[in-house]
Amino acid sequence: MFFKKRKKFVNSDITPDEIFMDAKNMPGWERESLEGVMEKAITFKTPLFLAVFFGLLSLALLGRVGFLDVVRGSDFADKVYLNRLRAVTLPPARGVIYDRTGRQLSWNSAALSSGADAAVPGEEAAVEPVRVYTSMLGLAHVLGYLGYVSDNSLGFAGKAGVERQYNDVLAGDAGSRLVEVDSKERIISASLQKPPRDGQNITLTIDAELQSELFRILDGVIQDRGFNAGAGVVMNPRTGEILAMTSWPEYDSNALSRGDPAEVRSLMSNPRNPFFFRAISGLYSPGSIIKPVMALAALAEGVVDENKQIFSSGSISVPNPYNPKEPSVFYDWRPQGWVDLRHALAVSSNVYFYTIGGGFDDVGGLGVSRINKYLKIFGLGNGTGVDLSPEAQGFIPDPEWKAQTLADKIWRVGDTYNLSIGQGWLQVTPLQMASIVSAISQDGIRVRPYMVKEIKNIDGGISYEAKAKYEDPINIDKKYFTAVKEGMRMAAEFGTAAALSGLGIDLAGKTGTAEIGKDYVNSWIISFAPYDKPNLAMSIVLERGSVHNLVGAPFAARQLYEWIKVHRPEYLKNKDLEVRLPN
């Protein structure tokens, strides 16, 4: 009936347009509500099209579901199972660091892991090693500390000292374990894939008690006498073993390994830079401790013989070619009178070393080229090769450097005079000076300093054992070394190093006071003992103290020798060093 009526309406003589042609003139119609608009019925094609479209879509979805379930079902089942598995890293135990006496300096303390693998059924709780360092002072720069490293499989690595230098040896290899979890991440089971391989243990040449005592002594003198910082090195001149090497101030290895923010901020803001390992990285003007090298160079080159006397009235004057009325004056620290080489070393006569270095009166002098030659022969201007980093190279000035660097490009005789007494631009490290006094004590036999005595595998077998590494010997007649050593022994008996006298120890030494401007100095001492067959070679520097202060490095050295005499008397005997803690 509906279609009949619609058909009759369509074929009528009156069209809908004629009926509504005046609709726009009808003010009461609301066209927004479709008043006056003709309704048209939806054709049969529209629901038919929709039915076909949704039918095809349903067939496609059912087909995809069937493909994933029937064809790929087993693959997805495997993936679902694998998603239940977790690979867990098993950290190895980091190697322990010992001193030469067998004392533990750095070891591991176990802490419960915060990971989910701690709850594996039937297993003990997993542990994660925490690095612990000895509470003994003076060892931080040598040992170093651990820090987070993003590209490291273990997440942490050595950041300084032995921890950094020997990180690959100490770290070991991480293991792994596969654990199965349910949908709520609860562990169902676990299986070990690869066991961790623990790091190797390292024994250092360091005597921890000696080093801690050296640090305590430096701390006392530096703070009591107003120095800025300091460092000291003690080594065996026959083997190269470093028995003590410390720097003041230092940091707390435990706090840095924990990542303590307050401690880090405090250290970073400290103007004395406690992170700086002055013993191997600090560069200082050596002052008069360079004079034994100057004496050996002058003897070897025939500039003077050991008995040649030079008069010191307290200064020498050199004509000024630009103003003859104002000669250049170079002062001794006091008038010395007539001194030969031994006495010049004992009383540290500047005039004597000005003369043999730059020349004066009837003495031609070494000149800058030959001075630099011997400084390099003794190892200055290069690192010692110690098995720790970063080591500074030092600096030896020369005319070419001055011409390229300074406004006054001319190398003058005054520059050579300053170089001859260790002033000016010459820079050395405490370890380099310990190495030099070591070579002097051995009549020119040079040995490379080292810190690692042995490395042991996890089964206790020795994988590395250090041996003395000899450098090219210094080709200077032994009799000249004897003369210089006698001068240094006189210095310790009644000269500038007399702070070392009265100890009941037969030793030799040389002091140095390097000027820093007009108001400050670096205080130095180098020494060796026993005199006839040395076991100890020592270098101490106290940084930036008042020029008016009369107590410095020699006083520190005396206190250390007093401690050695009581607590390490074997170091003063003519035999190989060996100390073991009681069981």
pLDDT at 2 over 60: no
49-56 long-range contacts, CB within 8 A, separation 24+: none
Cα distances (angstroms) measured from residue 130 to each of 113, 134, 201, 278: 11, 13, 16, 28
Length of the chain: 583
pLDDT for the residue numbered 33: 63
Q: Are the C-beta atoms of 267 and 475 separated by less than 8 Å? A: no
Q: What is residue 309's predicted lDDT score, i.e. its pLDDT? A: 97
Query: What value does the mean pLDDT of the chain take?
Result: 87
Per-residue pLDDT tens digits for 217-236: 999 999 999 999 999 999 99
| 38 pLDDT tier (thresholds 50, 70, 90) | low
- CA–CA gap between residue 422 and residue 440 (Å, rounded): 17
Q: Answer yes or no: is pLDDT of 4 > 50.
A: no
Q: Hunting for tokens 């996890």 — which residue is that? A: 458
CA-to-CA distance for 17 and 23, rounded, in angstroms? 10
What is the chain's Cα-based Rg?
42
Residue 202's closest CA among 234, 175, 168? 168
The secondary structure of residue 206, as a DSSP letter, is -
Which one is predicted more confidently, 51 or 25? 51
Per-residue model confidence as pLDDT tens digits over 445-470: 999 999 999 999 888 899 999 999 99
State mean pLDDT over 71-95: 71
- Measure the CA–CA gap between 184 and 107, rounded to whole angstroms: 37
> Which residue, 208, 386, 211, is CA-closest to 281?
386
Q: What 8-state DSSP symbol labels residue 575?
A: S
Asked if the model's pLDDT at residue 189 lies above 90, the reply is: no
How wide is the angle at C-alpha 465 spanned by C-alphas 464 and 471, nearest 5°?
Answer: 115
* pLDDT band (50, 70, 90) for residue 203: very high
Q: What pLDDT, on the 0 to 100 scale, is given for residue 58? A: 86
Spatial separation of the C-alpha atoms in residues 415 and 501, rounded to whole Å = 34
% residues pLDDT > 90 (the chain): 67
d(CA 285, CA 419): 10
Closest alpha carbon to 204 in 256, 169, 252, 254:
169
Token duo for residue 6: 């619609």
pLDDT at 89 over 90: no
User: What is the predicted pLDDT for the residue at 130?
Assistant: 85
Local confidence band at 356 (pLDDT 50, 70, 90 cut-offs): very high
Please state the pTM of the whole predicted model: 0.82
Q: How far apart are alpha carbons 488 and 501 in whole angstroms?
A: 12
Q: How confident is the model at residue 65 (pLDDT cuts 50, 70, 90)?
A: confident
**pLDDT number for residue 13:** 60
Find the helix or strand (DSSP H, E) in which 130 lies.
strand 127-133
d(CA 63, CA 427): 84
125 vs 42, more confident: 42
| Averaged pLDDT, 515-522 | 92
Q: Please report which residue ranges of 494-568 form alpha helices under DSSP H.
A: 553-567
Mean pLDDT, rounded, for 81-89: 67
In contact, 240 and 447? CB cutoff 8 Å: yes
Query: Is the peptide bond between 397 and the residue preceding it cis, with omega within 30 degrees of 0?
Result: no
Paired with 202 in beta bridges are 97, 455
Question: Which own/partner contact pairs does 95-98 have at CB distance under 8 Å and 24+ positions apart?
Answer: 95/169, 95/170, 95/171, 95/172, 95/198, 95/199, 95/200, 95/201, 95/202, 96/201, 96/202, 97/143, 97/162, 97/163, 97/170, 97/201, 97/202, 97/203, 97/204, 98/201, 98/202, 98/203, 98/204
Predicted local distance difference test score (pLDDT) of residue 175: 84
Q: What is the mean pLDDT of residues 364-379?
A: 97
Q: What is the 3-state secondary structure (H, E, C) of 362-424?
A: CECCCHHHHHHHHHHHCCCCCCCCCCCCCCCCCECCCHHHHHHHCCCCCCCHHHHHHHHCCCC
The answer to whether residue 408 scores a pLDDT higher than 70 is yes
Paired sense of beta strands 97-98 and 201-204, if any = parallel
What is the mean pLDDT of the segment spanning 201-218? Answer: 98
Residue 116 has a pLDDT of: 40
* pLDDT for res 122: 43
Checking if the pLDDT of 25 tops 60, the result is: no
φ, ψ of residue 34 to 5 degrees: the values are 65, 20
Lowest mean pLDDT among 99-113, 310-324, 352-366, 530-544: 99-113
Residue-range domains of the chain with CATH: 85-204 (3.90.1310.10), 208-572 (3.40.710.10)
Structure confidence at residue 582 (pLDDT)? 43
Is residue 543's pLDDT more than 80? yes
Sign of CA dihedral 77, 79, 85, 90: positive
Distance separating alpha carbons of residues 191 and 178, to the nearest angstrom: 5
The answer to whether the bond into 530 is cis (omega within 30° of 0) is yes
- Predicted confidence (pLDDT) per residue in 238-260, tens digit: 999 999 999 999 999 999 998 88
Read off the amino acid at residue 343.
H
